[in-house]
Each structure stands twice: as C-alpha cells, then as structure tokens.
Amino acid sequence: MTNILLIDTATPYCSVALSHNGVVIGVQQTNETNAHARVITVFIDEVLKANNLKPADLSAVAVSMGPGSYTGLRIGVSAAKGLCYALDLPLIAISTLQAMAWGMAETAKQQINLSGNITYCPLIDARRMEVYTAWFNAQIHQTGEVQAVVIDDESLQQWPEGSVIFAGDGMAKAKSVLEQLPNATFIDDFTPSAVYMATLAQRKFEDHDFENLAYCEPFYLKEFKAAAPNVKGLR
C-alpha cells in the first residue's frame, strides 16, 4: 500500500494531493495567486485528515521541482524536504512541465479530437515575454530540452511540426503569436495541479528513483535576480 503526498507550488497556484497506489484520493488547491506560504501546511493537514491518515502513514513525498516561480519552488521544496527529514521518507522529484503535460493530455482527451502526431507544450510564465517550456509526445515522454523561449514572430520557427497543444499560465501572453502556427490548439482553462503528479510519482516510487535530501534543489532554469528595494533607507 503506497500513500504519496503530492505538492505543487511551482506556478502561481498552490495544490496538495494524496495518492494511494497511484490513484488520487484527495486534493486541496486554490486558484488564489501567491498564497503558497499561507496555505501549504494547512492543505497538507487537511488532505491527510480527510482520508483518516497521519503523516506517519505516508510512504513518500513528491514535489514539483520546476521550472517555475523562484519563491513558489522554494516554499514547496522546503516543505517537502522538512517532512521527509522529520518522517524519514523518500523524496520524489517531479518535473513541473511533465506533470503539466500529463494533465494537458488528460484534459485534451475530453475536449479535443486527437489524431496524428501530437506534441504537448506546457507554458509557464517567465519574465517579460519569456515562457518556460518543453515538448512532450503523446506518451508524455520529453522530446526536447527544457528552455526559456522569448515569444515573438522569430520563435515560431522553434516549435515542433504537427499538431501542437498549448496550455499554462504563460499562454496569455503567447497565444496571439502562437496561434499563427497552422496546427496549434489551446486549452484555455487549464490549471496546473498536484493531481497530475500521481502517476509519475508512483512510477518513480516503484523504481526507487529518489532524491538525495541533502543536495536536492529546485530546477530554476534561470538564475534568480532580485529587484532593487524601493524602500527609503534600504539603498
């Protein structure tokens, strides 16, 4: 019996889910942006209590490792590592983009008539006109490197051929450019969620694919740059 706690704080949305043998049995999430630090421990407590479980009943903790929000990733990974240290549990790292692609595929099955060569391109909002993205095939295997792409007319040549499905919080600023692609499809109401990590986390648990707690760090993709403080006396 495998109970895995799933944590996703990589995007503006915060979610915590619980899976039993790879099947989601509980979830707590909010669409309120940037509420991660305030709600994450509450969500963990609520999702366990709703299923009559204690932290000691967990088999592992899985966390979305990025790319994504610098602050969000730090909050999620810190919470996950803290639980694993305290409870002596293995830590499972999940690619944020791969989990999104998994969720996109599940959503597309219900909304889109799928056929032919399909590529899923999750988009995470980055600075200015950039998005974090990677390509995934119909089996949700990554087929290209994770990259930060500047969305402009020149970037149209970078996307794969065939049917391309886009979703994510980076789509708002990218759609007007990407809709020029001849076979682009957009999932407008897609929200990242820890729910989409369940199958990926179960596979890694069964393969004993765990992280080193001492050295595990989020995948930021780009170096964090703090803005200059705009408070009198701090310059």
Task: Give the SS3 label for residue 130.
Answer: strand
- Does 107 lie in the same domain as 138? yes
| pTM for the whole structure | 0.91
Cβ atoms 77, 216 nearer than 8 A: yes
Number of residues that this document lists for the chain: 235
| CA dist., res. 219 & res. 152, Å (int) | 25
Outline where DSSP puts E strands in 86-210: 91-94, 118-125, 130-133, 147-150, 163-167, 184-186
pLDDT at 189: 87
* Structural domain contains residue 77: yes
pLDDT at 226: 46
- Does 199 lie in the same domain as 171? no
| CA dist., res. 167 & res. 46, Å (int) | 29
Q: Where in the sequence is the domain holding 124, given as residue range(s)?
A: 96-186
Which residue in 38, 32, 102 sits closest to 64, CA to CA? 102
- Does 126 lie in the same domain as 86? no
Cβ atoms 24, 198 nearer than 8 A: yes
- Does 173 lie in the same domain as 119? yes
Q: What is the CATH number of the domain that holds 7?
A: 3.30.420.40
pLDDT at 223: 59
pLDDT at 229: 47
Which residue in 82, 15, 26 sits closest to 53, CA to CA? 26
- Does 117 lie in the same domain as 157? yes
pLDDT at 111: 75
| CA dist., res. 127 & res. 148, Å (int) | 10
* Distance from the Cα of residue 150 to its chain's centroid: 20
Judge residue 42's burial from the number of C-beta atoms within 10 Å of its C-beta, 0-12 exposed, 13-18 middle, 19 or more buried.
Answer: exposed
Tens place of pLDDT for every residue, the chain, 235 residues?
Answer: 899 999 999 999 999 999 999 999 999 999 887 789 999 999 999 999 999 999 999 999 999 999 999 999 999 999 999 999 999 999 999 999 999 999 999 998 887 776 678 999 999 999 888 999 999 999 999 998 999 999 998 888 888 888 999 999 999 899 999 999 988 999 998 999 999 999 999 999 999 999 999 999 999 987 544 444 444 443 4
- When divided into structural domains, the chain yields a total of 2
**Residue 207 structure tokens:** 């393969």
- Does 110 lie in the same domain as 85? no
Cis omega (within 30 of 0) on the bond before 67?
A: yes
Backbone angles phi, psi at 124, to 5 degrees: -110, 130
- Does 54 lie in the same domain as 21? yes
* Structural domain contains residue 233: no
| CA dist., res. 129 & res. 173, Å (int) | 7
| CA dist., res. 197 & res. 101, Å (int) | 10
* Structural domain contains residue 38: yes
pLDDT at 140: 94
* Structural domain contains residue 229: no
